[in-house]
């Protein structure tokens, strides 16, 4: 038993200069010693991407009592890996990724660098939370989101999380949410995903865009609905993506008869 304050690792995918991560730092400061290890610029949509073809590096930006800030040339997941493998002197008690400028509900968890970093913390057996605000504006108002993120961080520091489970908190763009709902990940997909444009040579180029389309049936406890109704949503996510039900069906396919 030591008297050490909790060590909290903070990262994001909007980069170390984004408002969201800096508001998060302010609101978690009194909960422990903070180490920020975040990308040196925007890495939105990087999911759990890792950098393997080129090397990465990092730089110390600030060191003061209870707060150290590094920037890193890699992806959000690279940040988590490099911090834990090479920089931190002890294992963090908590990882918080965010606050993301923009929502990461539904299947966004698949593409989100914010959630990729939270998943990576979970792989390292660190209780990990991704926090996102449904507002892409650079100067978004993070105050309600900070209140909820801080509340959840305190609780997770106290309770821990099961091996292989991490949390996805999304907060609607409202001065005050109606409450917080524990949800499932909404099912659906994006449609009309590209805006056609052209480059300076007159060649067609495609910008990612799109609208979310829910899949049927729509479960009343999904995160999309909660957010649409003015609630913050909290989805517990798993690293293990095995479809255990379908394993039985596949065994029934008798694929082993193709064995030699």
Give yes or no for a contact between 95 and 9, defined as CB atoms under 8 angstroms apart.
yes
Q: Does 203 bind its own copies (CB under 8 A)?
A: yes
The reply on whether position 234 binds its own copies by CB under 8 A is: yes
CB 66 → its own copies: shortest distance, Å? 25
* Cα torsion angle, 191, 45, 125, 19, sign: negative
Which DSSP helix (H) or strand (E) runs through 255?
none
Tell me how many residues contact its own copies (CB under 8 A): 87
Query: What tokens were used for 25?
Result: 């730092």
Stretch that binds its own copies, among 30-38, 91-99, 127-135, 231-239 (CB under 8 A): 231-239
- Residue 5 or 91: which CB sits closer to its own copies? 91
Structure tokens at 164: 């292989």
Q: Which residues between 9 and 68 bind its own copies (CB under 8 A)?
A: 42, 44-53, 55-58
Could you tell me the two tokens for 152?
């959840």
Contact between 214 and its own copies per CB under 8 A = no
Within 69-128, the residues that bind its own copies by CB under 8 A are 75, 77-78, 81-82, 85-86, 107, 109-111, 116, 119, 123-124
Should residue 164 be labelled a site residue for its own copies when binding is judged by CB under 8 A? yes
Beta bridge partners of 101: 133
Give me 100's structure tokens.
Answer: 């993301």
Contact status: 174 vs its own copies (CB under 8 A): no
Closest distance to its own copies from the beta carbon of 3 (Å): 27
Cα separation values, 221 from 14, 106, 118, 137, 226, Å: 29, 12, 22, 28, 7
Residue from 21, 69, 96, 177 touching its own copies (CB under 8 A): that is 177
Distance in angstroms (rounded) separating the CA atoms of residues 26 and 212: 33
Stretch that binds its own copies, among 24-32, 61-69, 135-143, 188-196 (CB under 8 A): 188-196
The number of CA neighbours under 13 Å toward the Cβ of 230 is 5
**Binder to its own copies among 185, 225, 226, 233 (CB under 8 A)?**
185
For its own copies, the binding residue among 60, 90, 206, 218 (CB under 8 A) is: 206
Q: Indicate the angle between helix axes 143-159 and 19-28, nearest 10 degrees.
A: 50
**What is Dmax (Cα atoms) for the chain?**
66
- Assess 146 for contact with its own copies (CB under 8 A): no
- Closer residue to its own copies in complex, CB, 67/180: 180
């Amino acid at each position: 038993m030591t008297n050490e304050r909790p060590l909290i690792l903070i990262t994001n995918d909007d980069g170390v200069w984004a408002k969201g991560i800096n508001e998060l730092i302010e609101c978690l400061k009194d909960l422990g010693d903070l180490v920020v290890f975040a990308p040196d610029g925007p890495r939105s949509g990087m999911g759990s991407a890792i950098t393997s073809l080129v090397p990465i590096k990092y730089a110390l930006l600030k060191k003061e009592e209870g707060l150290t800030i590094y920037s890193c040339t890699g992806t959000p997941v690279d940040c988590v890996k490099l911090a834990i493998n090479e920089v931190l002197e002890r294992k963090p008690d908590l990882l918080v990724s965010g606050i993301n400028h923009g929502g990461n509900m539904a299947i966004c968890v698949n593409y989100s660098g914010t959630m990729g970093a939270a998943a990576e913390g979970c792989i390292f057996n660190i209780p990990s939370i991704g926090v996102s605000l449904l507002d892409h504006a650079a100067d978004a108002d993070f105050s309600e989101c900070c209140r909820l993120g801080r509340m959840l961080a305190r609780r997770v520091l106290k309770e821990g999380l099961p091996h292989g489970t991490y949390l996805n908190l999304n907060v609607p763009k409202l001065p005050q949410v109606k409450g917080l709902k524990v949800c499932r990940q909404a099912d659906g997909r994006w449609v009309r995903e590209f805006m056609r444009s052209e480059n300076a040579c007159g060649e067609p180029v495609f910008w990612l865009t799109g609208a979310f389309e829910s899949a049927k049936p729509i479960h009343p406890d999904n995160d999309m609905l909660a957010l649409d109704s003015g609630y913050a949503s909290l989805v517990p996510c798993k690293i293990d993506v095995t479809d255990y039900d379908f394993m039985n069906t596949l065994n029934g396919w008798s694929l082993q008869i193709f064995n030699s």
